[in-house]
Structure 1
């Protein structure tokens, strides 16, 4: 079953999983329950991986800005670029879902698929 053949309810759930920050929780819950289609599982893993990567980078750069005064401005600017990129990538993936195309990121999707929640 391809993403183009998903019914509107499935597309809506995939759309919700990709909402920045908020979509992390339903995506994690769906992965935890293990009662989902392959497409849903792939999007959930991608959403959790994106949010986790963003959160780790956000926390590390924030900690670095607090710790190293001479790098504070640079790290805060990088932090804002990281956050903006996370939101833009999420919006782009949501747009792909609306168009009926597969929500995939080259390299990142393959990495997310290797993560197994057992």
Structure 2
């Protein structure tokens, strides 16, 4: 069989697969729009946890949105979902702490400076913990934070997973 016969044979198999599976895909992913191709390793529907995807979830402030999207659509591996829950827990706790400290600083004049300093420590801590978790992902180490992981699994996991 020469090169052209193999190409024609492959195209014939692909056409037959497309005719059989037209409109019968259960998942509404990009594969159904562009043919019946399996998700690539970098596609969000693939269940391999690449470090790049995990790092994206843990970027301070910005990583909250892809994490929420992944949990809302229940896509990804268990490792991705756990990282997303941890990212959302960190971001929400930072936002709540930031708002409470800023509100306290605005309403209490005699401790305003102290609350603003605590607010800056809280923000710095959030960024440093996120960077530390990213560093652990790069080194392929465990990303467990005592207390926060438990809260993320029990509370966030209950409502978003």
Same fold by TM (over 0.5)? yes
Structure 1, gaps ≥5 residues long: 1-5
* Structure 2: gaps (5+ residues): 1-46
Which structure's residues are more often helix, by fraction?
A: 1
Counterparts of 1:104 and 1:11 in 2: how far apart (Å)? 16
Partner of residue 3, structure 1: none
Task: State the Cα distance separating 1:14 from its structure 2 match.
Answer: 0.4
> How many pairs were matched up?
112
RMSD after superposition: 1.5
Which residue among 26, 35, 48 is the counterpart of 2:75? 35
Partner in structure 1 of residue 104 of structure 2 = 64
Is 1:87 matched up with 2:124?
Answer: no
Which whole-Å CA distance do the structure 2 matches of 1:15 and 1:67 have between them? 38
Q: Distance in 1 between matches of 2:153 and 2:142?
A: 14
| Larger CA Rg, structure 1 vs 2 | 2
The structural deviation recorded for 1:104 is 1.6
Greater RCO (CA < 8 Å, at least 6 residues apart): 1
Runs of 4+ residues over 4 Å off in structure 1:
none
Partner of 2:93: 53
TM-score, with normalisation over the residues of structure 1?
0.90
Give the Cα–Cα distance (whole angstroms) in 2 for the partners of residues 54 and 36 of structure 1.
25
